[in-house]
């Protein structure tokens, strides 16, 4: 039983190792997706993830140090306001890197303030965790809409969403072949 677990664990670690570039920038290496990535040396980083999550984390850390001293209601209001600005990602503003970055900063502020609001509610921690998970699922709605936008971009390509044939996904296949 443990050797089976060990081989499955090694396989999982191998999958993570092969996928590391796509975990950092889960967009194809394609000109149509260049606005979705930061470039640091040879590494590509997702603009959305590497903007929104650090912004949210910054808000949470500032709150943990006691530097955000506002009511729960204000935290929810600020989080809702900034989070709702994510709707701009459905417009042409998000077609440009600067617009995308601004929208993702707003998303990070929304996530950060909403998170500290939830964890400020004076109820049992399990209730707060349940609320937090519920909010994450609501945020998943935007991921669904973003995926639709990606599918539309890929539909207009000569590979027509046949990602196994797309050269933008070639790197993962090359890495996989090298690790076999």
pLDDT: is 168 or 100 the higher one? 100
pLDDT of the residue at 116? 96
Question: For the chain, what are the domain ranges?
Answer: 2-178
pLDDT at 46: 85
The predicted-structure confidence for 56-66, as pLDDT tens digits, reads as follows 999 999 999 99
- Per-residue pLDDT tens over the stretch 114-172: 999 999 999 999 999 999 998 888 777 777 777 777 788 888 888 887 877 888 776 54
Residue 159's pLDDT is what?
84
* 5-10 average pLDDT score: 72
pLDDT, mean over the chain: 82
Q: Is 120 exposed, middle or buried (0-12, 13-18, 19+ CB in 10 A)?
A: middle
pTM: 0.75
Residue 93: per-residue pLDDT: 84
Alpha-carbon distance of 173 to 164, in angstroms, equals 9
Residues 6+ apart with CB under 8 A from 133: none
Q: Identify how many contiguous H helices and E strands the chain contains and give both numbers.
A: 6, 2
The model's confidence at residue 48, banded by pLDDT at 50, 70 and 90, is confident
**Structure confidence at residue 151 (pLDDT):** 83
Measured between alpha carbons, how far is 131 from 20 in angstroms, rounded to an integer? Answer: 30
Fill in the DSSP letter of residue 108.
H
Give the pLDDT confidence score for residue 112 in this predicted structure.
95
Q: At CA 92, angle to CA 55 and CA 52, rounded to 5?
A: 10
Tell which wins on pLDDT, 42 or 173: 42
What local confidence, expressed as pLDDT, does residue 143 receive? 73
- Listed in sequence order, the residues at least 6 apart from 21 whose beta carbon sits closer than 8 Å to its beta carbon are 43, 44, 171, 172, 175
* Burial class of residue 54 in the structure, from the number of CB atoms within 10 Å of its CB (0-12 exposed, 13-18 middle, 19+ buried): middle
Flag whether pLDDT at 13 surpasses 50: yes
Question: Could you give the 3-state DSSP secondary structure of residue 29?
Answer: coil
Token pair in block for residue 28: 């194809």
Q: Is the pLDDT of residue 179 over 80?
A: no
């Amino acid at each position: 039983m443990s050797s089976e677990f060990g081989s499955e664990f090694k396989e999982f670690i191998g999958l993570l190792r092969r996928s590391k570039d796509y975990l950092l920038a889960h967009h194809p290496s394609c000109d149509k997706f260049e606005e979705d990535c930061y470039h640091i040396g040879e590494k590509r980083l997702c603009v959305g993830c590497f903007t929104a999550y650090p912004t949210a984390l910054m808000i949470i850390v500032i709150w943990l140090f006691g530097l955000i001293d506002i009511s729960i209601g204000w935290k929810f209001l600020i989080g809702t306001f900034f989070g709702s600005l994510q709707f701009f990602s459905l417009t042409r503003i998000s077609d440009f890197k600067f617009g995308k970055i601004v929208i993702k900063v707003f998303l990070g502020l929304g996530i950060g303030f909403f998170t500290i609001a939830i964890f400020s509610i004076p109820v049992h921690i399990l209730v707060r965790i349940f609320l937090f998970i519920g909010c994450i699922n609501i945020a998943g709605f935007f991921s669904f809409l973003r995926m639709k936008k990606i599918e539309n971009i890929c539909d207009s390509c000569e590979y027509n969403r046949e990602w196994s044939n797309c050269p933008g996904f070639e790197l993962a296949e090359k890495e996989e072949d090298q690790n076999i």
